[in-house]
Structure 1
C-alpha cells in the first residue's frame, strides 16, 4: 500500500513538507541512542571551529583595543615625524596652532659605564616636560619630569629598563656616559605608553630629556635622528576632520617630507602584523578543519554502514533515496551543530584565556569580550566542511538498492554517487575556498594556501592508491606476517587511503614549518655570521672619518668599507605621487618611510650592474640613480624612468641610469638607491662604515668596540652578532607560537587516524577470528598488523617530508631569497612521528580486536 500511494503523495508540496517532517521524526528517534561512533566527528569539528573562532576573536580583541586606545598608543591625537631635521619656524607655528605640542627625538647610540669597562647599544628617546600627552609613564621610583630627567648636580637624569641595567651591571643611582655627558640612572623604566607606535628596536630604551640629548652632543649634521611632534587637540576631532588635517599638512608644506599619523591609525605595523598572524592561524585552523573533514567522511560512512539494515528496511517499505538522505543528513547536521557549538564556546573563551599573555606582550588594556563576527565565520566554516565531506557518503547510500544492502557488507562497491551530489559537494568546496580567500587580508597567500591544500589532498589520495597498487604487485614474501600485512594494505575496504590522507596533511604542515624554521635558524646563527660584517658604525661625521679609520684598523685590522649616507623618502615615480600607485605587497616596503641612500662616483664593490650603465667618475649632468634590480621589478620601473626623493625637506628628481643586483642576505653595505655624486652636493650628511674581520675573537671585538666608544662617543657601533641574537630570539619565539598553533592540525590528524582505524575494526575482527581459527597465533597477527601500519606510516612520512620540503623550499628560496637545505633531523622527526602515531594507534585498536571470542563472530558470518 505504501509503495502504491508514495509517488502521488510525494509530488505535491504538502507531501514534500510531510516527507521532511517524517524524516525529521525518524532522525530524532534514531538519535535517542546517543552519539556513539561520533566522537571523532565531534572532536574534529569542535577543534577546527575553536581554532578559527578563537584566533579571530583574539585578533579582533587586539584590534579593538588598538582602535579604542589609539591616543595612548600614539601618545597624541596627531603626530608629525621628521628624519634628520627639526621643523622650521613656519611648520612649528602651524603645529602649535593645533593644540598642546610635545616634542621628542629618537636615535641609536652607545652608552658606557663611567669607568669605560663596558658599553651597550641603546635606543635613546628624548622627551620634553609635557611627555606623555596621553597614557602614563611608569617608572620605579615614581618621580616627576624634573626629578626624573632634569639637570641636577651638573648632570642630567635618565631612566632605563632592567634589561639595560643588567647588561651593564649597574643599578638605579649609578651613572653612565652618553655621548659627551654623564647621566644618572634615576629610575627603572617599567612602561612606556607609546612604545608600540615606535619602530622595532634592536636595543633597550634609554629615556632622557631633550636638554640632556643636546648636551650629549649626539645631534650633529647628518645624524640619524628622528624628531616627533605630538599634538593633543583642545577639542576632539572626527575622522573626517583628521583626514582633512592630513591633507592640509600636505598642501601647506608639500616639501616637509614628514610622516603624519593620527590616533585612528596609531600602530599600523602592529595592526598589520596581527592581521597577518591571525590570517595564518585561520588558515592553520582551516587545515585542521579540512583534515577533520576526512574524519567526518569516515564517521559518516561508518555510521551509514552500521545503519545498513535500517536503510534497507526503509527502502523495502517504499522510502525513496531522497528520504534516506534527508533522515541521515538531518542527523549528521544536528551532530555537527553540537560540535560547532562546543567549538564556538571554546573559541569565545580564548580571548579571556589569552588576556594575561596579551597584557604582558602588548601595552594595551586587558578588556576583552565576545566577537560574534569571528564566531559566525568559524561556524560557517564548520557547516560547509561538514556538508562537503558528508554529501558523497550520503550520495552513495541513496542509490544502493535494498537487495544489495541486505546482501553486501556496505556501500564501497557502489563507487561514485550520482552527478548531482558530486556537483553539490564541489560547489560547497568552492564556496569554502572562496570564503577563506575573501576573508584573508593578503589574498594571494590565501589562494596559494587553498590551491596547495587541494593539491595536497588530491596527491594524498593518489599516494594512497599508489601504495595499494604497489602492495598488490609486490612479490610474494616468505614471512607470513609480512604477507598478511601487504594483503591488508590493498584488500577491499583497506584503511590505506584514509590513514595516508588523515595523517599526511598534518605531517606536511609540520614538516614545512620545521624546515622553514630550521633554515632560518641555520642562516641567522650559522651562515650569516660567516659572511656578515662584524660591525656597523653609524653617524660618523666627515671630519672624523680618517681618524676613525686609523683607530679601527689599529685595534682590529680588517676590511673597512666607508660610504656617505643620508635618509630620504621616495615621494613620486615618473611624476605620480606614490600614494596613488598600486604597488604589489612585496614592493611596498621600498615606498614606506625613509630609506638609507648614498652617492658614489664608482660602482660599489659588492654590486653587479645587470642593466644600463654606470656614470663616469667625473659626471656632472642631471642627477642619476642606480636602483636595486629586484625592487625595481616589483615597483614596475625601468631604465630612463624618474623618481622624486625628499631629503632634508627638499625634493630631488633623478633619472634611473642602471639596475644593480643586490645580495641583501649577506648583510653587507647595500642600498636600494645609489645616486651620482652631484645629486647631493653641499647636503649635510654623516658616514656609514662596516668592518669585516673574519678571524676576530670576541675579546678582540670588545676591545675595538670599547676603543671606538671612548674616542668617538657620538659614533654608534652595532655589533652584528648581538643584532643577530635579537633576531634569532624573535624567530624562536615566533616559530614556537606557530608550531603550537600548527599542532592543532596534527591533533586533528591523530583524531582522524584513530577514527579511521576504529572504523576498520569490524572487518578486522572477522579477519582475525578466521585467521585464528585457521591456526594463526596472536603473535603472528600482531606482527602482521604492526608491519601494515609501519608500511603505511612510512609511505605517509615520505610524502609529508617531500611535500613539506617543496613548500619550505619555495618559501625560503623564492620568497625570503635565502639558501635552503633539507635538514636530516627534520626528516628523521617526520618519519618517526608518522611511524609512532600509526603503529601506536593501530596496535591499540588491534589489541581489542584480538580479544574477541571466535564463536559469536563465526555464528554471524
Structure 2
C-alpha cells in the first residue's frame, strides 16, 4: 500500500523485474487508467448533471442554430446570386436609361434585359382607394435568369400584354388586398388605365431592389409612356442585366468585364454590380444579426455556466468518500482531478451533442416555416463549421466553470472517510495551477468570441460587460450575505430567514448570479425595444411631415401648392428641387479607393438625393464656412452635412465629384451645416449652389404638415382627391411608412425576445437545479427546527421570506443594471431620448419574485414532508 496508486495497477508478476518505462509511456499509462476509472464511475448515470446537460445543450443549440441558419442563408445567396441579380452583371442609374453607345457595349457582352423601377400610386377606379406601389416595368427578355411565377400559372408576358386596348399588370397579393381588387378588375397607375391579370407568386430578383416601401406592381415596358410618370428629372431607376455566357463564367471573368466597362465609360455615373454583390446589404444584415444572436447565445451559455459550476461542486461533494478512498490507496491529487475532469468532459459532450442536433435542425425547419418570407430557398443541409464553433464554445464554457471546483479535489484528504463532511472539498480555493487554468480557459473563450466576431468592438464590449456583470452580481451576493449576518431583527421568522441567506453554503450567490444575469439581459433588450418603439410611434409622427410628394412637375408646382392649401387649410407646404446624383470622388480620390467607416458607407454606395438653393435651408446652422450669395456665379459649390463630412474626413475647401443626369461635375465644399435627420423633414447631405444646375431638368419634392399631426380620415381624403387631380404625383404617407418600419422592428424584436428567453430559461434551469441540490440540507434544517417546535407554516414563512428577499434584491439589481445598459445603447449609440418605464421595472421584479419564491416553496414543501424520526436515525 506504500506504492503509488499509479504503479499499483501495473504490478509485474511475482519473480519478474518490471520493464523500464519512459516518462511518456508512464503518463499515457496513468491517462488510460484515469479514463478507465472515469468510465466505471459514469456507469452510475448522469444523476445530478441533468441541469448541467440542459444548460450546455441550450447554449450550444442557440449558437449552432443561429450560425447554421446564417451560413445557410449566405450560402444560398451565393448559389442563387445570378438569379437574385437577374444576370452576371447589372448597371443601374437614376433619371436616364443607357445611351446607344453604352447599350451597344452591353450587347456585345451577351444577352441583356432592361427594367425600370420607381414608386407611384396604384388606384382602384371603382372604390377610389389607392396605395403606394413599387412599380417595375420589364421588357420581353425579363427575367434572364430564374422564373417569374404567377399564382395559378400562366405566361407572365402574355398576362402583361395589351388586350382590347388595355394593358395587363401583375401585382403582389398584398397590393390587390389593400385595394380590394380581384383578377380582371381595372387598376390605374398614373394616367394608365390597366387591368389586373395576375398575382405574383415569386419574383426572382426582388431582393436586388433593396428596401421597398410598398408592394410590387409589374407592367410591360411598352406601357410606360401611357403612365405619364417617366420624363426628364423623374426618379426612375433604369437597370440593365447581362448574361456573360453559359454556363455561368467564373467570378474573375465577371470582375474583368466590370472593370473594362468602368474604364470604357468613366463618366457614365452608373452603378455596376456583379452577381456576388446581388444582396450584399441583406447578407451583411444576416451576418450582423447572427452575431447579435450569437452574443445572446453566449449569454445563455454564461448563465448556464453557473449551473455547470453548481453541478460540479455538488458532484465533488457527492464523491468525497470515493475521492478519499482513492487518496488513501495512494492516488495523487492530479490523478483524482484527471478522473473527475474526464467525467465532466464526457457529460459536457452529451449536452454538446444534444445542442448540435437541435442546432442542425434549425435551418430546414426555418426554411419550411418561413419559405414565403425568406428571399432564398434551399436551407437544408448540415454546416460543419457553424456546428464545430458551437461545440467549441460549449466545451470552453464547461471548462471555465468546472476547472475551479474540480481543482479542489486535488487537496481532498483521506480523512474525509472519518470526518464525514469536514474538509469535503479541500478548502475554498484550488491550487494556483487550477486557478491559472481557469483563467486561461476564460481568456480562450473571450478571445474566440471577439476574434471571430463580425464587429469586434461590439464583441469586446459584450465580453467586458459580461465579466463586469459577474463581478457585480458576486458583489451583490456578498453584500446581501454580509447585511443578513449583521442584522438581528426581533421576529424569529425574519431572523432565521436572514440567517439562511448569510450562512456558509447558502443559495444567495447561486440565485443572484443565475437569475440576475438572465433577467438583466431581458430588461436591457426590453428597454431598447420599448424606447425604439416610443421613438417611432410617438415623437416622430408629431414632428414629421404628414406627406412627401414625389415627382411634382415644375410646370404644375404652383397649381399643386394651391390645391394643397385649399384642400388642407392651415397645413404647411414646402418644396425643393429634387435630383439624384452619385458621388464619384472625394478630394480627388475615387470612392472605390476612399476608406470610410461602415456608418457612412451608404453615402457612397448608391445614388443620393441632392438639391440646390440660393438661401440657407431653414432649421440648419453653419458650423464652418459661409453661405454663397443669392446671385452666385462661377464654379459649382456645395454645402455638406457636418456629421457626414466629419465621418468622411471632409473639410471646407475640399472637392467632391458627382455625376448628375449623365453630367460629371466637380464642386468645392463652401460650408458645413447641421442636419436634424430625426425630424424626417426635407434634408439633404449635399445642397449645391443654384448656378450648378442652371437649365437642368428636374422635378420638385414637396411636403405637407398638418398643424395637429393629421388625422387618418383627412389624410385618406386628401390622397383620394390628389389622385384624381394630379395622377402622376406620388404621395408617400409618413405614418404608413412608419408602420412598415414598425412591422420590421416587430419581426426583429420577436427573434431577439425569443433568443433572450433562452438565456432566461437557462437562468430558471440553474435556479431550479440549485434548489434541487439544496434539498438534502433543507430536509436536515426542517427536521431540526421541527424537533425544536417549529410548525409547518412557520417553516414555510421562514423559507418564503428567504426567497422573497433574494428575489427582490436580484430583481432590483437586474432592473437597474439592465436599464443602465439600455440607456447606454439608446442614448449613447442610437442618440434618441431614453425613458424608464416604472411599470416594466415593477413587472420584471415581480417576475423574479414569482419564479424564485415559487420554485423555492415547491422544494420546501417537499422537504417538510419528511418525518423527523426517519431523518434523525441517520444523523
TM range (shorter): over 0.9
* Structure 1 residues 722-737: aligned runs within 5 Å: 722-737=736-751
Task: Give the equivalent residue in structure 2 for 1:428.
Answer: 441
Q: How many Å separate the matches in 1 of 2:422 and 2:696?
A: 87
Q: How many Å separate the matches in 2 of 1:824 and 1:614?
A: 48
Q: How many Å separate the matches in 2 of 1:291 and 1:76?
A: 48
Deviations 1:484-518 (A, max 9, x none): 11111111011111111111111111111111111
Task: Give the equivalent residue in structure 2 for 1:846.
Answer: 860
| 2:294 maps to which of 282, 294, 298 | 282
Counterpart secondary structure, 2:262:
helix
CA contact (8 A) 2:60 2:355 kept: yes
Counterpart secondary structure, 2:372:
helix
Task: Give the equivalent residue in structure 1 for 2:175.
Answer: 164
Task: Give the equivalent residue in structure 1 for 2:325.
Answer: 313
Shift of 1:146: 4.7
CA contact (8 A) 2:321 2:416 kept: no
Counterpart secondary structure, 1:189:
strand
1:182 aligns with 2:193: yes
Task: Give the equivalent residue in structure 1 for 2:52.
Answer: 41
Counterpart secondary structure, 1:729:
helix
Task: Give the equivalent residue in structure 2 for 1:832.
Answer: 846
CA contact (8 A) 2:412 2:426 kept: no
Q: How many Å separate the matches in 2 of 1:141 and 1:83?
A: 35
Return 22-31 or 44-53, whichever deviates more.
22-31
Q: How many Å separate the matches in 2 of 1:489 and 1:832?
A: 20
1:562 aligns with 2:575: yes
| 1:468 maps to which of 467, 470, 481 | 481
Task: Give the equivalent residue in structure 1 for 2:2.
Answer: 2
1:652 aligns with 2:665: yes
| 1:323 maps to which of 331, 335, 354 | 335
CA contact (8 A) 1:639 1:657 kept: yes
Task: Give the equivalent residue in structure 2 for 1:86.
Answer: 97
Task: Give the equivalent residue in structure 2 for 1:698.
Answer: 712
Distance 1:7 1:630, change over 3 A: farther
Gaps of 5+ in 2: 11-20
Q: How many Å separate the matches in 1 of 2:199 and 2:213?
A: 19
Task: Give the equivalent residue in structure 2 for 1:210.
Answer: 221
Q: How many Å separate the matches in 1 of 2:292 and 2:230?
A: 42
| 1:370 maps to which of 378, 382, 393 | 382
* Structure 1 residues 234-249: aligned runs within 5 Å: 234-235=245-246, 236-249=248-261
Task: Give the equivalent residue in structure 2 for 1:26.
Answer: 37
Counterpart secondary structure, 2:213:
coil
| TM-score of the aligned structures, taking structure 1 as reference length | 0.97
| 2:626 maps to which of 613, 630, 635 | 613
Counterpart secondary structure, 2:370:
helix
| 2:230 maps to which of 205, 219, 222 | 219
Shift of 1:177: 1.7
Counterpart secondary structure, 1:35:
coil
Shift of 1:358: 3.3
Alignment length (residue pairs):
860
Shift of 1:115: 4.8
1:504 aligns with 2:516: yes
Task: Give the equivalent residue in structure 2 for 1:602.
Answer: 615
Counterpart secondary structure, 2:92:
strand
Distance 1:2 1:637, change over 3 A: farther
Return 240-249 or 606-615, whichever deviates more.
606-615
| 2:682 maps to which of 661, 664, 669 | 669
| 2:807 maps to which of 778, 793, 797 | 793
Counterpart secondary structure, 2:415:
helix
1:805 aligns with 2:819: yes
CA contact (8 A) 1:560 1:689 kept: yes
Return 544-553 or 16-25, whichever deviates more.
16-25
- Coordinate RMSD, CA, aligned: 2.0
Distance 1:31 1:646, change over 3 A: same
Shift of 1:704: 1.9
Task: Give the equivalent residue in structure 2 for 1:488.
Answer: 500
| 1:447 maps to which of 460, 473, 476 | 460
* Structure 1 residues 262-411: aligned runs within 5 Å: 262-403=274-415, 406-407=418-419, 408-409=421-422
Distance 1:803 1:691, change over 3 A: same
| TM-score of the aligned structures, taking structure 2 as reference length | 0.95
1:771 aligns with 2:785: yes
CA contact (8 A) 1:116 1:710 kept: no
| 1:147 maps to which of 147, 150, 158 | 158
Counterpart secondary structure, 1:710:
helix
1:585 aligns with 2:598: yes
Shift of 1:182: 0.5
Task: Give the equivalent residue in structure 1 for 2:471.
Answer: 458
CA contact (8 A) 1:513 1:808 kept: yes
Q: How many Å separate the matches in 1 of 2:228 and 2:182?
A: 25
Q: How many Å separate the matches in 1 of 2:159 and 2:748?
A: 36
CA contact (8 A) 2:548 2:703 kept: yes
CA contact (8 A) 1:196 1:362 kept: no
CA contact (8 A) 1:530 1:694 kept: no
CA contact (8 A) 2:89 2:258 kept: no
Counterpart secondary structure, 1:478:
coil
Q: How many Å separate the matches in 2 of 1:770 and 1:538?
A: 81
Shift of 1:99: 1.1
Q: How many Å separate the matches in 2 of 1:201 and 1:846?
A: 57
Task: Give the equivalent residue in structure 2 for 1:110.
Answer: 121
Deviations 1:167-213 (A, max 9, x none): 11221111122112211111122211111111211111110011112
CA contact (8 A) 1:288 1:745 kept: yes
